[in-house]
Amino acid sequence: MSADVIARIHDQIRDVAPELKTYPPASVDWLTHALAAADILIPWLVGTAPELKTHVEQVLNSPHRLRSQWNALRKDTSLPPEQIKAFDRELSYAKILLEFVSGEAVSTIVTAHLLAAFPGSGLKSNGKSDYPDLFLAANEYVNLPKFTRNTTEYGAALKGSPPRPVRIPDGMEVKTCRDVIAVDCHHPHAGLHLIVLFDESTGEFRARDVCVAFLGRKDYRESGRNTTATTVKYSFKGEKFISLLHPPQ
């Protein structure tokens, strides 16, 4: 399965080669960088996808399962009634929180797991508002220009202290979607995207799939603006994404 997914991701990368060859700074061979990053990330993602699915489900379902265990234990417990009521109350609050589980919250769970699981701490994270979410620590970025907000050229740069590579097309963006793959964003970023698709039924969360795709600008849809002052928004759906849990037959 790993070789098939790598081959398909390579095809997706080469499909946007003209964009990568002109992506700033053009002195960097982003096509080669993206292919090399895929060779490292994809086999690992294929191997870790089942564990990631299990981890997401265990974290999201822990309050529900704790409630089930407590219901089985409470009838035999010798705790004072006020402590039993307090425990029930706290579990009820946890249930309320679960009703508002968002894609952003699940993305945080996924990102933390990937950072902890990657061999040798070889994945690093970017700032919350920076693209991509993760990058390979072993890659060399010292020659990238310093990030400035007022630049007219959108491209890779070094930001913060210690400097982190942002807007690079050889990292990995993490997205999570509830029920269906549909993502809104502020820029049509080129790069590898990982999506965990989840749903919820009768109080239980399920990670339905873990998917990857390498997207280019042409894979995004630009939304219309109501006024000239409105920020341009972009979106993409799941057409290009490849399942890491359900290989094609």
CB 212, CB 68: distance < 8 Å: no
Domain ranges of the chain: 2-121+172-243
**Residue 213, strand partner residues:** 193
Which residues have a Cβ under 8 Å from the Cβ of 217 and sit 6 or more positions away?
16, 19, 188, 190
pLDDT tens digits in sequence order for the chain, 249 residues long: 789 999 999 999 999 999 999 999 999 999 999 999 999 999 999 999 999 999 999 888 876 666 666 566 566 677 777 776 776 676 665 665 555 555 567 788 899 999 999 999 999 999 888 999 999 999 999 999 999 887 778 899 999 998 999 999 999 999 999 899 999 988 999 999 999 999 888 778 889 999 999 999 999 998 765 555 457 789 999 999 999 998 765
Q: What is the pTM (predicted TM-score) of this model?
A: 0.84
d(Cα 4, Cα 196) in Å, to the nearest integer? 20
Q: CA-to-CA distance for 101 and 200, rounded, in angstroms?
A: 10
